[in-house]
Structure 1
């Protein structure tokens, strides 16, 4: 999963570079997207084998099920990254367009993916709070920029930015979906409540304070 996360971050960085700098990264991103999809199939095959061979109990079943969902989300990230590179093919070099909102949204998206990977590795549902806050930030940028883009006199830049912000917004949605899947592993529920997050924090604190 960590390797898939690294590939996703690289693919998104390359994809956004294709827009911000006017470089053609389509082939590189497509290769990464294909590699991520292969990893997804590997995870899917592995989880299926585990279900057949080991007949997992509830906790293990939640981990297996959520692993498939999370790896699928990674595969969608790769596809969205490739779609972003196609914006450059459609509109040409638009690196002269205003891009501050895209830069901010991209930073948040990368942070969300890193937090999702760490959350899965550590089974830490507290990171879901940060992921959701980042997602709200991305949604807010999208909502605030869209009316301005509609009124823009530069149609090419406006359409390109609207598409890219929409792709980043969808990536953010999938990152939240991942955090919900991680919460399902830990608690058996798809979305953490404040009480569950506090309980998880207290349990971890007690465990670290009492080595026995």
Structure 2
């Protein structure tokens, strides 16, 4: 079982520093994207177009952070040729980096839908579904990043399991929104925008679950993607 102190056992102090830096830079990027997600949902609900436009304009900052982290990882791979747990850390950072950047993209999409909804006028749904699922996936993202920071595999497994709940909530929300459209055709425009925002939130839940799966790989060296039950898979591996 991998622990935090395992990354502080290298002969080269500089190597220790490099590994710690890529982790810190990734978590900094994650915190920035988490904030943008929360603000994007709030901007939509409050019809605050100025905040929404600011979120969209800040997306390039996340893109720059992604490229910087990729460059740092490439440098470590080339210079240090890491093995075992160190290699898993660098590989995990590269993969999580991509998921975080894509969450930033989805947050920007939500902000764009918020601007369009502000032009449409009042929402017949009062954004009930947006508020609920937005809060849920933001919590998942926070816990996934926390699991990565603390190498907490149990928390990571919980996040992966939560994604199934988000998928069910998303399906229920879409059925509810279709009902609103059928009741009054004037609702079609705003409801379609909400549907696109909900789609982005559902994808963010997927990316948060991906991050959690990478944590399991980092801690245990197990690839748990596409497993119906992560807990059962881990138990089977432990019994071998």
Please say whether Structure 1 and Structure 2 have the same fold, judged by a TM-score greater than 0.5. yes
Partner of residue 44, structure 2: 19
Is residue 145–residue 211 contact of structure 2 (8 Å, CA) maintained in 1?
no
Deviation at 1:168, TM superposition (A): 0.3
Partner of residue 56, structure 2: 30
User: Structure 1 60/22 Cα, relative in aligned 2: closer, same or farther at 3 Å?
Assistant: same
Partner of residue 157, structure 1: 190
Deviation at 1:77, TM superposition (A): 0.9
Distance 1:8 1:95 in 2: 28
One of 72, 76, 85 as aligned partner of 2:102: 76
Distance 1:95 1:140 in 2: 27
Is residue 7–residue 32 contact of structure 1 (8 Å, CA) maintained in 2?
no
Two-structure CA RMSD over aligned residues (Å): 2.2
Deviation at 1:93, TM superposition (A): 4.8
Q: In the alignment, is residue 178 of structure 1 matched against residue 211 of structure 2?
A: yes
Is residue 22–residue 94 contact of structure 1 (8 Å, CA) maintained in 2?
no
Q: In the alignment, is residue 52 of structure 1 matched against residue 85 of structure 2?
A: no
Unaligned runs of 5+ in 1: 201-212
Distance 2:137 2:88 in 1: 26
Unaligned runs of 5+ in 2: 1-25, 225-229
Deviation at 1:94, TM superposition (A): 4.7
One of 193, 198, 202 as aligned partner of 2:231: 193
Q: Report the secondary structure of 2:153's partner residue.
A: coil
Q: Report the secondary structure of 1:96's partner residue.
A: coil
Q: Deviations over 1:180-200 (max 9, x none)?
A: 111111121121434747x99
Is residue 21–residue 95 contact of structure 1 (8 Å, CA) maintained in 2?
no
Partner of residue 126, structure 1: 154
Q: Report the secondary structure of 1:116's partner residue.
A: helix
TM-score (norm 1): 0.85
Distance 1:37 1:62 in 2: 23
One of 94, 111, 123 as aligned partner of 1:96: 123
Is residue 19–residue 93 contact of structure 1 (8 Å, CA) maintained in 2?
no
Is residue 26–residue 85 contact of structure 1 (8 Å, CA) maintained in 2?
yes
User: Structure 1 167/173 Cα, relative in aligned 2: closer, same or farther at 3 Å?
Assistant: same
Q: Deviations over 1:76-101 (max 9, x none)?
A: 11111111111133342555332111
Distance 2:208 2:122 in 1: 27
